Structure 1
Amino acid sequence: MSKMFLLVLDDIWEEDEEKDKSKWEDVLAPLASGGFGSKILVTTRTDSVALMFAKVIKKEEEIVKLDSLEEDECLQLLNSHAFAGIENPPDDHKKLRAIAGEIVM
């Protein structure tokens, strides 16, 4: 109670908007007593889920639509995390980089 939190709900989807709304109200009700500055971040692929969550938490809609990354941007992001701190990678990293290229395709 009164503790600040960040809750991330990733890739949420719905089958039945009214039924799902009721379930989420039950799940999120205890979080109403969280500390000032607490946040809930929901990622989804559908606008209807985002709107449903705005209603459930009774907050102003704040929907941010993200565009997908281009393949080269995705590969650069993956490589920057997978090979962070490696300036001159050994030859075995070439195989890993080739696999990374297949992943982002």
Structure 2
Amino acid sequence: MIVEERDYRLKPGKLGAFVAAYEAHGLPIQIELLGEFLGYFTTEIGELNHVVAWWRYTSFEDRLARRDRMMADPRWQAYLDRVTDLVDVQQTRLLRPTRFSPIQ
């Protein structure tokens, strides 16, 4: 099992628009096509204007197959057109739980 953490730094003043667009247009597509949705977070302290999403996959290969399918979906491409100009920087990390992690 792996967890993908996607961290988006948004342009100043664009956090609300990005979250609203994701909730209405992006999340339904991802719930259909990706692994298990673990959470969606915004920053309150530290560097602001960040959104972090967590997704669980059974393996790296599972993640690749699901994301390839999503990237080929025209609905996802239309969603990206809505939000691309709101994002400043994106970082992605793949996390593996330790033996004692409550998320397995």
Asked if TM exceeds 0.5, the reply is: no
**TM-score, normalisation: structure 1:** 0.25
**TM-score, normalisation: structure 2:** 0.25
Structure of higher RCO (CA pairs closer than 8 Å, 6+ residues apart): 2
Larger helix percent: 1
